[in-house]
Amino acid sequence: MRSITNITACLFLGTVLTACQDAGSNAGEAMTSDTANSKAAQSKMSGFDVTLANAQARVEARLGDPFTIPVPKDPGGGYTHETHKANGFLLYDVGQLYELTGDKKYAEFAAQAMLDYAKVYPAWGLHPAQKEQSPGRMFWQNLNESMFLLNVAQCYDAIKDTLTPEQKETIEIDLLRNMADFLSVGAPETFNKVHNHGTWATAAVGLTGYAIGDDEYVQQALLGLDGSGEAGFLKQMDVLFSPDGFYNEGPYYHRFALKPFVIFAQAVQKNNPDLKIFEKRDGILKKAIYGLIHQNYGGLFFPINDAIKEKGIRTDELLNGVAIAYELTGDTGLLSIAAEQDTFVLTPESRKLAADLAAGKATPFDYKTMRFGDGPQGDQGALDVLRASDDPKGLAVVVKNTSQGLGHGHFDKMGLLVYNAGHEILRDYGAARFLNIEAKFGGHYLAENNKYAKQTVSHNALVVDETSHFNGDVNVGNANWPKIGNFVNEDGLKITSAEITTAYDDVRFDRSVAMIDDAAFSEPIVIDLVEAHSENVHSYDLPFHYNGHLIETNFDLQAYPLSRAPLGKKNGYQYLWKVAEANPVDGLSQVTWLLDKKFYSVTSVVPSEAKIVFTQIGANDPNFNLKPEPGFMLRARTSDGVSFVSVIEPHGDYNPTLEYTIGSHSAVKSVRHFEDGGDEYILIETKAGERVGLGLAGDGGADTVHTIDVDGTDVTWTGPYKLFHSETHKAARN
């Protein structure tokens, strides 16, 4: 409880900011959440009631204190910055509290605070610590000023009916219009930019327009400064999300971009219902909200590109997003998401969400296998998500067939993530960053982010010649993306595939990933086919960054028990200790690990001269900035391309409570890969003698017949793919 007291002291009393100089944004919510849990446990209040009670208690503690408006001086993280930021959130809170409770004291506080701001704001020039691009006046960058106005405009809208005409005039002219003008006509380069900073600016100015009843601001916000529609909110809606609601930089930045979209769109819906803003572009904003939800596993966002891995659906932006989407759709599956969020915000929509949740109306959220096209037209690659079922803790696979994702993008074309039983199984490192932790490079992205986390080898993605995709050049990356192939979503069979020819000069490669359900296996499994094509000599590494403790391999490990050295010198390899090496047995590599009471095996058919290299992150890391995670990679050097076919298999049960273990060994005896032209056939044989096959056609249509010679027997199928089930499976189906 003391730490909560500290937060209060820090951000609300505003007196001991030096004691928490690394504090970030609206930390006050922490109290809401923590106190909420204990309070809810005690009194069985609904989640929203707890949020409301906490907000009232939090604000109550501020009402008697002097409201501090310091002269702008400090950059982000400093005293004046944090104080104005906290003031903005406080004003939002009191506005919402007035609206929700009708208690005049909130309105009076808000009025006085805004009048106080109106007194000083007009005289403030550019911030003394202004950033070079897009400087602010209250803050060092105008992005923060937009965020402040977004809060304050909503506050004004909520309490304006309590003001005298004189008060209204003062606040509107000296604070709201002054700030809105500064953010619009005063900063056209940001306001007209089709970029999330532009969305914050247009949303703030548009909300101001609605609040003060000036449609010119609204029109500027919607259509850009010149009203042409070439810029502004509607244009941003057209461009910043793909038609499937995918955000180019990935979910971590998606959630940040989402908030001004949904907040302003909601105001548009209320004030200009004729615009049908939520129906525009085939309901793009709903898709953006749903898309973000679908991009989570175990409550955390898929950590593709620069991402803080702990970030997930409890994020503030998605609390608003889910409440608004529920208001729009009535989809009771969203109530399950709200239950997992377990936190609410101070809006009527959130109140309704909490009430319906408490009333037991929740149904399971419809998690499903989806392909999210990337790019404004959806034709720049795709994020492919395969789920074995709608169970949020079931087997799930993500294949990153997207485009680069701009400056925050990682060089991991066709990178693979696998989840099961609530955990990451094959994982992405995410960003190398300790957010807001001063001792770790001030909480910024670490040098290791560019040098390790963005490099291809830190992902489950094919590396050629120990060099990252596009040679690590983000401009080349932005100009190229995979050509996406099959996407199949059938009962018991999901497939994604894609190919890229531009990641390396003379190597094109493709990856097909299938999730299949066959009675020969105790659970659904994944088949992963990676093929590279080249006419020159290259080395190929296919890393598997596994999560767990190594249990078993089908080969003898040559470890380095007395010394360790880095695996390479550049492109991220310098951060990997080489901890062991091995040779496959009869062209087969099988690696089994244990994670939280389940076993996972990767059984791969590899070229007979291949090596398996085991790694641990942490070489060249004198400041211990990186997490010491394990991995192994399939490695081959060839003159004519390579193929790696792997079966990724969850199995067994390690139960230390009841002291039994079953199924600790992989069920896979062999994996074989047959090719004929562009056609492929993958044959899995289990230790129990079952055979499961997957045919993938190189080309042709739905009626094209494909035949491959498998051990002297022709295997034939029609169309782009076919799963050949085991006999046991077929018998069970009959």
Active-site positions read 253, 408
Which one among 119, 361, 627, 730 touches a second copy, defined by CB under 8 A? 627
d(CA 528, CA 632): 15
Q: Is 703 helix (H, G, I), strand (E, B) or coil?
A: coil
Neighbours of 283 (CB within 10 A): 17
CB 467 to a second copy: min, Å: 21
Phi-psi region of 512 (alpha: psi -120 to 50; beta: other; left: phi over 0): beta
CA end-to-end distance (rounded Å), the chain: 61
* Binding track over 548-577 against a second copy, x by CB under 8 A: -xxxx----x-x-xxxxxx----------x
Site for a second copy in 632-661 (CB under 8 A): 652-661
Residue 501 or residue 620: which is nearer to a second copy going by CB? Answer: 620
Question: Do residues 199 and 236 touch, judged by C-beta distance below 8 A?
Answer: yes
Contacts of 30 by beta carbon, 8 Å cutoff, 6+ apart: 4, 7
Site for a second copy in 666-685 (CB under 8 A): none
Neighbours of 263 (CB within 10 A): 23
Q: Is 654 helix (H, G, I), strand (E, B) or coil?
A: strand
Residue 417 or residue 520: which is nearer to a second copy going by CB? Answer: 520
Which one among 447, 662, 705, 732 touches a second copy, defined by CB under 8 A? 662
Per-residue DSSP letter, 151: H
Q: Is 705 helix (H, G, I), strand (E, B) or coil?
A: strand
Site for a second copy in 684-703 (CB under 8 A): 688
Residue 580 or residue 602: which is nearer to a second copy going by CB? Answer: 580
* Binding track over 15-34 against a second copy, x by CB under 8 A: ----xx-xxxxxx-xx----
Residue 257 or residue 461: which is nearer to a second copy going by CB? Answer: 257
CB 551 to a second copy: min, Å: 5
* Binding track over 395-434 against a second copy, x by CB under 8 A: ---------------------------------------x
Residue 7 or residue 97: which is nearer to a second copy going by CB? Answer: 7
Q: Tokens 């809810």 appear where?
A: 40
Question: Do residues 436 and 443 touch, judged by C-beta distance below 8 A?
Answer: yes
> Across the beta sheet with 679-686, what order do the strands follow?
668-676, 679-686, 691-696, 721-724
Considering the rule CB under 8 A, would residue 438 count as an interface residue with a second copy? yes
Considering the rule CB under 8 A, would residue 312 count as an interface residue with a second copy? yes
CB 185 to a second copy: min, Å: 31
Considering the rule CB under 8 A, would residue 8 count as an interface residue with a second copy? no
Residue 136 or residue 312: which is nearer to a second copy going by CB? Answer: 312
Site for a second copy in 219-238 (CB under 8 A): none
Residue 270 or residue 687: which is nearer to a second copy going by CB? Answer: 687
**Nearest alpha-carbon partner for 154 in 187, 176, 178:** 176
Question: What's the chain's length in residues?
Answer: 734
Site for a second copy in 265-304 (CB under 8 A): none
Residue 116 or residue 316: which is nearer to a second copy going by CB? Answer: 316
**Nearest alpha-carbon partner for 210 in 253, 163, 268:** 268
Q: Which amino acid is at 252?
A: Y
Site for a second copy in 532-551 (CB under 8 A): 549-551
* Binding track over 491-530 against a second copy, x by CB under 8 A: -------------------------------xx-------
For the chain, the C-alpha Rg in angstroms (whole number) is 28
d(CA 166, CA 660): 77
d(CA 10, CA 31): 12
CB 725 to a second copy: min, Å: 15
Site for a second copy in 50-109 (CB under 8 A): none
Question: Do residues 54 and 39 touch, judged by C-beta distance below 8 A?
Answer: yes
Residue 226 or residue 390: which is nearer to a second copy going by CB? Answer: 390
Structure tokens, 411: 């060089």
Site for a second copy in 584-623 (CB under 8 A): 592, 594, 597, 616, 618-623
Question: Do residues 68 and 129 touch, judged by C-beta distance below 8 A?
Answer: no
CB 500 to a second copy: min, Å: 32
CB 594 to a second copy: min, Å: 7
Which one among 437, 537, 705, 731 touches a second copy, defined by CB under 8 A? 437
Which one among 69, 194, 339, 435 touches a second copy, defined by CB under 8 A? 435
Q: Characterize 496-521 residue by residue with b for buried, 16 or more Cβ atoms within 10 angstroms of its Cβ, and e for exposed.
A: bbbbbebbbeebbbbbbbbbbbbbbb
d(CA 366, CA 357): 16
Structure tokens, 621: 């890391």
> Across the beta sheet with 382-387, what order do the strands follow?
370-373, 382-387, 396-401, 415-420, 423-426
d(CA 108, CA 153): 16
- E strand segments, 618-712: 630-638, 642-651, 653-655, 660-662, 668-676, 679-686, 691-696, 705-710
Residue 185 or residue 559: which is nearer to a second copy going by CB? Answer: 559
Structure tokens, 521: 């296996």
Q: Which amino acid is at 433?
A: R
Contacts with a second copy: how many residues (CB under 8 A)? Answer: 76
Q: Tokens 């590109």 appear where?
A: 305
CB 20 to a second copy: min, Å: 4
Residue 648 or residue 696: which is nearer to a second copy going by CB? Answer: 648
Which one among 664, 670, 704, 718 touches a second copy, defined by CB under 8 A? 664
- E strand segments, 300-381: 300-301, 370-373
Which one among 415, 472, 630, 693 touches a second copy, defined by CB under 8 A? 630
CB 630 to a second copy: min, Å: 8
CB 620 to a second copy: min, Å: 5
CB 262 to a second copy: min, Å: 18
CB 416 to a second copy: min, Å: 23
Half-sphere exposure of 469 (CA within 13 A, CB side): 34
